[in-house]
Amino acid sequence: MTARSLAAALLGAAVTVPLPAAQTAFRSGVDFVIVDVSVRLGGEPVTDLSTADFQLHDGGIEQTLDEVSRETLPIDVLFVIDLSGSVEGPLLESLTRAVGAVQDRLRPTDRISVVTFNHRIREIDAVSVGALAAPLRLGVPMGQTSLIDAMVVGLIRAPEAGRRRMAIVFTDGLDTTSFLDGATLLEVARRAETAVFTVALTYGTTQPEPRPPHQPLLESLAELTGGTFAVLQHNQDLGDLGASFVQAFDEFRTSYVLSYAYQGPARDGWHPLSVRVRRPSPRGTYEVRARQGYFAAP
């Protein structure tokens, strides 16, 4: 079985082939790896790249890519939504509409799951998009904020082959009741194989604009997982919440999926990744975003 046919078999048999991790398959000494890669130029997505245009290093060793695809695998979207006391009134309405806007763009094979949080974390089961009869009701905002704990709970998901996974995180405040710390969140995220896109709302219109709490942590999370971190000002951009969610989803959906059979010395643990575009750019440099690595299980 060639690596390419192995990839096809694994991706097409999501139900019957158990995998140790969502996007990392290990068979007969071959580690099969899938990496989501977003490429933009001048802020616009680049959509005409092929296998030969990418260069990928795994643990410092250049890999031979078997396949580069776009928009072929179903997507699992995890929403991690702040429902602390400050998310009330128009903000809650905007938030509900923003989730609905992403729901509207999902395909029948995509799935959605939701974790809401204040000090308490509530997990709503994953459901297929076809089963959704109405927009999700998020709940009643109240209480404090356990942002980090909620993200950890959300990111720990059962591995599933043949699907891509992203998280859209929304928060408008400061974590006040988490037990875990930022370092733990990042450690969990390294193993989660989920691209994390965070939208943080700040309050006030002063100059310079206030940065949201935890900005360095959330930026690190985005960098680590191949996601993004976006900031909205409460007084100015409430209506843009839906656009931010949709932008995050579209960026993930249209990103490339690079697959390869790992070539190199057997190595458990963290595999750092680097991806670049070989093709010369007609203008400026490519913005390439991908997760920084993955964990290979023993």
Partner 1 sequence: MFRTASVLAALAAVLVATMPVGGLAQNAPPSRLDDLLDRYAAGREPDLIATTFPDHVTFLDWRVELFTRAREWRESWQPVGATLLLEISFWGARQGWPEAYLISRAAEDLVTGRQAVLGAAPAQDQFEITFHRAALAWLVGARSLGQAEEYLRRVGNRLASASEPDAGDNRLRDPRVALTHGILAEAWTAPGALAPMSGSTRLPALAADARDGETRAHLGRALAALDSAAALPEVAEEATVRRAFVLHRLGRDEEALAALGLENAPADSTVRYWRHLFLGRVFEALARPAEAAAAYRAAADDWRGAQTPAVALAALFQRQGRAADARRWARVAGTAPLEVIDPWWHYWSGDLRFLPEWMADLRRSDP
Q: Would you tell me which residues interact with partner 1 (CB under 8 A)?
A: 20-21, 115, 119-123, 144, 149, 152-153, 156-159, 174-184, 187-188, 191-192, 208, 210-217, 295, 297-298
Task: Choose among 174, 170, 197, 196: nearest CA to 95.
Answer: 170
Burial bucket for residue 215 (CB in 10 Å: 0-12, 13-18, 19+): middle
Shortest reach from residue 184's CB to partner 1, in Å? 5
Choice between 66 and 193, CB closer to partner 1: 193
Task: Choose among 124, 126, 83, 122: nearest CA to 106.
Answer: 126
Shortest reach from residue 67's CB to partner 1, in Å? 26
Tokens of 35: 């990496």
Shortest reach from residue 19's CB to partner 1, in Å? 11
Shortest reach from residue 22's CB to partner 1, in Å? 10
Can you give the C-alpha Rg of the chain in angstroms? Answer: 19
H or E segment and range at residue 166: strand 164-171
Choice between 70 and 191, CB closer to partner 1: 191
Choice between 208 and 282, CB closer to partner 1: 208
Shortest reach from residue 129's CB to partner 1, in Å? 21
Contact 142, 161 (CB under 8 A): no
Q: Which residues contact 139 (CB under 8 A, 6 or more apart)?
A: 83, 116, 122
Choice between 212 and 242, CB closer to partner 1: 212
Choice between 25 and 56, CB closer to partner 1: 25
Q: How many residues does the chain have?
A: 298
